[in-house]
Each structure stands twice: as C-alpha cells, then as structure tokens.
Amino acid sequence: MTTAPHSHHVDVPKGALIMAGFLVVSSIAITSAARIMQLPPAASPVLMRAEQKVAPIASRQLRFSDRADGAVVIEDVTTGGTALLLEPGTNSGFIRGVMRGLARERRMQGITSTPPFDLTLWKDGELSLTDTVTGRSIELNSFGSTNRATFLDLLTRPETAR
C-alpha cells in the first residue's frame, strides 16, 4: 500500500486574512487618532468622587500584619483592637489577595506595613480601600458583591481586645 506524502500546508481563506489585517490597521488608526486629538483618559472613581463632592458615610483605618503561623491580623488603628483575624486555611482569599498586591507595592517602594489603609464607604455606594502612603486606591465594588461584602463587614465588625 502506497501512501501520499504528508503535507503541512494549511490554506487560510483570503477573506479571513483581509479581516485580520483590517482589524490591526483600524486598531492602530483609532489609537493614533485618540493620541493626536489628545482625548483625555476616562476619569478615575477617586477623581469623579472629588469632582462631584461625594461624601464618605463610614470609614475605618486598618493595619494588616502577618503572624508567623500564617494568620493575618487586621487591626483597627484608632482603637488598637483586632477587627478581624484571618486564620490560615479559612475562606479569606480575596482579602489576602488584595493585601498581597498592596503590600508588594509598598515593599517595592521600601515602605513598611506600619502605615494604615483607609477603608471607606461612600454616599454613592462605592467602597474603596486606599493606601495612606502610596495613595493607591482600590474600588472594591468592581470585584462583585460577595468580595465587596468581605471588606464591607470590616466597617461594622466590632473589634476584639488584643
């Protein structure tokens, strides 16, 4: 039995190549036009709240620190009490993930974990976590209602004594 030689040749339809080329060219053209016309970027939630003079409803200054056993202690800076203790293996991945990102940024700038973060609920319903040193603000509403609720709970949760 004789077999035909194997070929790796693939025919791509001409229409698909034309559409891909059009997509690339139009993306570059739109981006270039926006740059040339100096269109301002979309406003950040922080700037929009300042412009609209949206007031905070509730705020709490929190400090996050790691314990040797892997737990994360969330301290209310004002009272010195523990707002929440995240034991290792508990369902606290979202808070840990957010804080890992903020802590990484601080380490890159040579900042310790001592300065607090501001957790703020705004009159427009937005919830934000702001690093008081770097000024970086994370809008927690954008992560969904369940993840937002984990931080919202920190605003009303009574602290425990040290």
75-98 residue pLDDT tens: 999 888 888 888 887 767 888 888
Banded model confidence at residue 161, pLDDT cuts 50, 70, 90:
low
Q: What is the pLDDT of residue 127?
A: 93
Is the model's pLDDT at 3 over the cut of 80? no
For the chain, percent helix, then strand, then coil, each to nearest 5? 40, 20, 40
DSSP notation for 9-38: --PPPHHHHHHHHHHHHHHHHHHHHHHHTT
Residue 13 CA to residue 25 CA, distance in Å, equals 19
pLDDT digits (tens, 9 = 90+) for 125-138: 899 999 988 888 89
Report pLDDT for 60: 93
Looking at residue 112, its pLDDT comes to: 84
Strand ranges (E), 1-158: 56-66, 72-76, 82-86, 117-122, 127-131, 137-139
| Ranges of each domain in the chain | 13-42, 46-156
Average pLDDT over residues 4-26: 87
Q: Which residue has the tokens 């992560």?
A: 143
For residue 120, pLDDT over 80 is answered with yes
Distances from the Cα of 137 to the Cα of 82, 117, 144, angstroms: 23, 9, 17
- pTM attached to this predicted model: 0.68
Residue range 132-150: average pLDDT? 89
pLDDT above 60: residue 162: no
| Residue 28 C-alpha from the chain's centroid | 28
Res 71: pLDDT: 85
Question: Which tops the pLDDT comparison, 127 or 112?
Answer: 127
- 134 close to 106: Cβ distance less than 8 angstroms: yes
- The string of pLDDT tens digits covering residues 19-78 is 999 999 999 999 888 888 887 766 778 788 888 888 999 999 999 888 888 888 889 998
